[in-house]
Amino acid sequence: MKNQFLEYLEIERNRAPKTVENYGRHLEKFLAWAKIRSASQIDDSLIRNFRLYLNRLQDEKGQGLKKATQNYYIIVVRSFLKYLAKRDIKTLQAEKVEIGRTPEREVEFLEEHEVTQILEAASGLSFQALRDRSIMELLFSAGLRVSELVSINREKLNFKSRELSVRGKGGKIRVVFVSQTAATSLKKYLETRTDVDPALFIRDVQGLKKLNAAKNNDDLRLTPRSIQRIVKQYALKAGIVKNVHPHTLRHSFATDLIMNGADIRSVQEMLGHSSITTTQIYTHVTNPHLKEVHQAFHARRRKSSKID
C-alpha cells in the first residue's frame, strides 16, 4: 500500500520527486515502528504512542527531534490516511490526527549595510569574483531559494525585461524580477564564459583545468552546497557575525520589501509561498520596525502641533 500511495503522490498529486522521496522515507519509518499488518490497526492510541516515541527520540548526542520534524512525520501519516480513505480502506480518519503547534520561527535577516558589505566583499574582475557577486546579487534581488538558483539555465535570462521564470516547490513556476545592479553583475560574469554549458552558474573551468580535474560539461553546474559555501565565505570576509546562508538573503529580500511598504500578498507571490501563513512570519520580524516608524511619525506630529 505504501508504494501505491507514493505513486498517487507522484502521478495524481503531481508532487516533486524530492517530496515523494521524503514522504516515502518518513512513512517507512512510521510503518517500521508501528509493525502493523493492516491499515485498520491504525487508531488514536497508535498515533498517540507514535507522538510519544518521536518526542522522546534522541540521537547519539542526546538531542531530540525538532518539533517541526516531529510534525512532518504526522503530516505524512495524515496524508497516508487521507489516501486510504479515498480508496475506501477502513482506517483512522485523518481529521482526528492533529498537527502539534510549533514555536514561531526566528528569521534572521541582513540590514541594508550588511548586504552591501557582503556584495562588496566579492569585488574583483576574476571569473570567480564576478560569478560569486552575481550569485548573491540574484539571491537578494529575486528572493530565490538556493534550489531555484542552481537550476537556472542562462538562456532563460531576459536582460531586456529583467524577468526570469523559475520552478519552485511542487513544480510551480513563477516569474521573478532582476534588479538593475544584479543584471549588470550577471552581464559582466557571463562575458567571462567561454564554455557551452547551459547552466547559469558553473564551476571555474580554467581553475579545474589547472588542477587537472576538469570533467564533462554535465558536471559543471554548481550545487546547493557550493552556493552555501560561497555565501558563508563572503559573509565571513565582510566581517558579518550572523550565521549567513543563502536563505538569509531570501529572508532579507522579503523583509526589505515589507519594510518599504509592499503588501503581504505581493510578497507571498514573489516568494512563491503556497500559503499566506508562511509569508506572515515576516510581519513579526518587521513589527519592531513599524513601531519605530509609528513613534517617529507621531513625534513629528506632536512637535508640529506645538509650533502651531
Taking only the tens place, the pLDDT of each residue in 114-168 is: 999 999 999 899 999 999 999 999 999 999 999 999 999 999 888 999 988 898 8
Domains of the chain by start residue, with CATH: 2-96 (1.10.150), 112-289 (1.10.443.10)
- Residue 26 among the catalytic residues: no
Residue 95 in grid coordinates: 481529521
Give which of 150, 8, 191 is closest to 83, Cα–Cα.
Answer: 8
pLDDT of 302 higher than 80: no
The pLDDT assigned to 106 comes to 66
Residue 49 in grid coordinates: 504512542
pLDDT of 97 higher than 70: yes
- Residue 273 among the catalytic residues: yes
CB crowding 209-232: b at 16 or more within 10 Å, else e: eeeeebeeeeebbbeeebbeebbb
Distance of CA 44 to the CA centre of its chain: 34
Average pLDDT over residues 162-181: 88
The one catalytic residue among 26, 131, 145, 203: 145
Task: List CB contacts of 122: < 8 A, sequence separation 6 or more.
Answer: 129, 132, 133, 136, 234
The pLDDT assigned to 297 comes to 59
Query: Is the Cβ–Cβ distance between 266 and 260 less than 8 Å?
Result: no
Query: Is the Cβ–Cβ distance between 254 and 276 less than 8 Å?
Result: no
Residue 97 φ then ψ, to 5°: -100, 110
pLDDT of 59 higher than 50: yes
Rg over alpha carbons for the chain, rounded to the nearest Å, is 24
Average pLDDT over residues 243-249: 92
The pLDDT assigned to 208 comes to 65
Percent of the chain surpassing pLDDT 70 = 86
CA contacts within 13 A on the Cβ side of 292: 6
Query: Which long-range contacts does 24-28 make (Cβ < 8 Å, 24+ apart)?
Result: 26/72, 26/73, 26/76, 27/2, 27/76, 27/77, 27/80, 28/2
pLDDT of 45 higher than 60: yes
How does strand 173-177 pair with strand 163-167? antiparallel
- Residue 145 among the catalytic residues: yes
163, containing H or E segment: strand 163-167
Average pLDDT over residues 66-81: 91
Distance of CA 250 to the CA centre of its chain: 8
The pLDDT assigned to 286 comes to 63
- What letter would DSSP give residue 222? P
Q: How far apart are CA 181 and CA 137, in angstroms?
A: 7
- Residue 189 among the catalytic residues: no
The one catalytic residue among 15, 203, 221, 250: 250
The one catalytic residue among 67, 169, 174, 245: 169
- Residue 294 among the catalytic residues: no
Residue 197 in grid coordinates: 554549458
136 vs 171: which has the higher pLDDT: 136
Query: Is the Cβ–Cβ distance between 150 and 139 less than 8 Å?
Result: no
- What letter would DSSP give residue 38? S
**187-222 per-position pLDDT tens digit:** 999 999 988 899 999 998 776 665 555 555 457 899
pLDDT of 301 higher than 80: no
Indicate yes or no: pTM above 0.85: no
Mean pLDDT over the full length of the chain: 86
Query: Is the Cβ–Cβ distance between 107 and 281 less than 8 Å?
Result: yes
pLDDT of 293 higher than 50: yes
Query: In the block, which residue shows the cell 559555501?
Result: 229
Residue 39's Cβ-count burial label (10 Å; 0-12, 13-18, 19+) is middle
pLDDT of 19 higher than 90: no
- Residue 282 among the catalytic residues: yes
Query: Is the Cβ–Cβ distance between 246 and 150 less than 8 Å?
Result: no
